[in-house]
């Protein structure tokens, strides 16, 4: 069965510091991987996705993620955090049946000035 | 254009009541998904429609949950005889033909069962 594990339910960084949110997946087929962001009382917004091709993918708001098959990882990074990045972040994998996203439990990112 | 909309945004129901949650997908999106997000958790899949056909309902937690999309556009998620454990945010998402995996989410309906 496919699954997603997000290491660290809460990450705190200072404004301007590197953001690193960790995601590991389990999949018996080549995965399609996603990062979503959720602001309070809002739905999920797609940050970036990996389907095929280049393993380093760039998304919105300066975020990027690298698909590493050997490590079964898809960590999200941003070189310099902004206060506006404070939100909940979810990693997800497209299920094998092609009918749903399987989400991790989420990581709350806090940014302090 | 308009995104996915959901109504109501908030719903309070007494235990045992029936509720109906509505989702209006993005125009032209044939795929529609429902997810349940419990407090502090990631969304969990409930059901999937392609046009009016419900192709996957494996995530529905009990036979109290029922979803429909009769004309292939608007969808309704109905929960009968609500229980406290049904309290959650219910998210709807839609996607365009050929890229079902790239989903656009609505703001959700927060259901509180008292």
Q: Which of B41, B43, B102 sits opposite A46 (nearest CB)?
A: B102
CA distance B45 to chain A (A): 6
The count of CB pairs under 8 A between chains A and B is: 60
Mutate to test the interface with B, among A42, A100, A102 (most CBs of B within 10 A): A100
pLDDT tens-digit map of B33-73? 999 999 989 999 999 999 999 999 999 999 999 999 999 99
User: What's the rounded Cα separation, in Å, for the pair B4 and B95?
Assistant: 10
Q: Is the peptide bond before B80 cis (omega within 30 degrees of 0)?
A: no
pLDDT tens-digit map of A89-106? 999 999 988 889 999 999
pLDDT tens-digit map of A1-13? 889 999 999 999 9
Task: Say how many residues make up chain A.
Answer: 113
Interface of A with B in 28-67 (CB under 8 A): 32, 34, 36, 41-46, 49, 51
Q: Could you report how far apart the first and last alpha carbons of chain A are, in Å? A: 41
- Looking at residue B1, its pLDDT comes to 55
């Amino acid at each position: 069965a496919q699954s997603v594990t997000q290491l660290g339910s809460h990450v705190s960084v200072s404004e301007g510091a590197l953001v690193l949110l960790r995601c590991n997946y389990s999949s018996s087929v080549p995965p399609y991987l996603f990062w979503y962001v959720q602001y309070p009382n809002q739905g999920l917004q797609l940050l970036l996705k990996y389907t095929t091709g280049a393993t380093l993918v760039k998304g919105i708001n300066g975020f990027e993620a690298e698909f590493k098959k050997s490590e079964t990882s898809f960590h999200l990074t941003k070189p310099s955090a902004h206060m506006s990045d404070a939100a909940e972040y979810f990693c997800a994998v497209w299920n094998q049946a092609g009918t749903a996203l399987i989400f991790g439990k989420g990581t709350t990112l806090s940014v302090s000035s | 254009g308009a995104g996915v909309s959901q109504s109501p945004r908030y719903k309070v129901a007494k235990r045992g009541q029936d509720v109906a949650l509505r989702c209006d997908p993005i125009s032209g999106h044939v795929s529609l998904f429902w997810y349940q997000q419990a407090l502090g958790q990631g969304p969990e899949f409930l059901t999937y429609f392609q046009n009016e056909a419900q192709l996957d309902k494996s995530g529905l937690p009990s036979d109290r949950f029922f979803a429909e999309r009769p004309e292939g556009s608007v969808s309704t998620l109905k929960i009968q005889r609500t229980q406290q454990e049904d309290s959650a945010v219910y998210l709807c998402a839609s996607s365009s033909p050929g890229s079902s995996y790239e989903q656009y989410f609505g703001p959700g309906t927060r259901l509180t069962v008292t």
